[in-house]
Amino acid sequence: MATIIVVTSGKGGVGKTTSSASIAVGLAQRGNKTVVIDFDVGLRNLDLIMNCERRVVYDFVNVINGEATLNQALIKDKHVDNLHILPASQTRDKDALSKEGVERVLNELGERFDYIICDSPAGIEHGAQMALYFADQAVIVTNPEVSSVRDSDRILGILQSKSRRAELGLEPIKEHLLLTRYNPERVEIGEMLGVKDVEEILAIKLLGVIPESKAVLTASNQGTPVILDQTSDAGQAYSDAVDRLLGENREHRFIDLPKKGFFKRMFGG
């Protein structure tokens, strides 16, 4: 059976869909059969970042309702073998996701894929709870600011109490912290929380630190997950995070300010 990983956050706009896309691509690049599902019914952004919006004919809700098969709804990724996308519906309500329907689709996907990435809507409403309910692992995406971290702490409480694993008394969901839009210069002057501050508040293992980078916006506008841009700090940071997700040891980069050379220390700049 596949490993189900939910990518979630308490607050919107923290880079959750960007992270879902890059994690899915990274897993597929390493030879794993991977599918990424957009649970954000009514809004749907994953297909834009994956550059497949014009190829959407059937969606997740169509499959749940028996209006289409998985084969009809799954879209093969343009960039990476082993990767498929299951888009959300733009015209339905989030209540269209029933627990029984989601479980049936996940079970069917589990027979065909190694990893199922669930791109959750932000917050704690119905769509978000459906995305996290069946998870084996969770990637908590947060920005280094107090409100984002506080909302992520609330999500951790829901993962630990309202998931299937919690209900059945199984081993808890494995939780990972992904810190996005990190800028060590702003940390230095007290405008952002530092990595250790966030780790101390949330008390979960750090999966990765994604630096603030124009490359993320550029990649999103081009419909290319930023992990494919290995010339960028953000692309390299996502690649490191995927390696850690697979159990490899990778030193965390892009956390500290670059050390100044001798001449910069002497003369400034």
pLDDT (tens digit per residue) in 76-118: 998 899 999 999 887 676 677 899 999 999 999 999 999 999 9
Question: Quick check: helix, strand or coil at residue 127?
Answer: helix
Q: What is the pLDDT of residue 260?
A: 59
Identify the segments of the chain with pLDDT beneath 70. Answer: 91, 93-94, 259-269
Q: What is the pLDDT of residue 125?
A: 81
| Residues contacting 224, CB < 8 A, separation 6+ | 51, 79
Measured at the alpha carbon of residue 242, what is the angle toward residues 179 and 124, in degrees to the nearest 5? 50
Tokens of 115: 């990893």
Tokens of 17: 């869909």
The pTM for the full model equals 0.93
DSSP secondary structure string for all residues of 155-214: HHHHHHHHSHHHHHT-SPPEEEEEEEEE-HHHHHTTSS--HHHHHHHH-SEEEEEEEP-H
**Cα gap 251→107, rounded to integer Å:** 35
For residue 86, the cross-strand partners are: 37
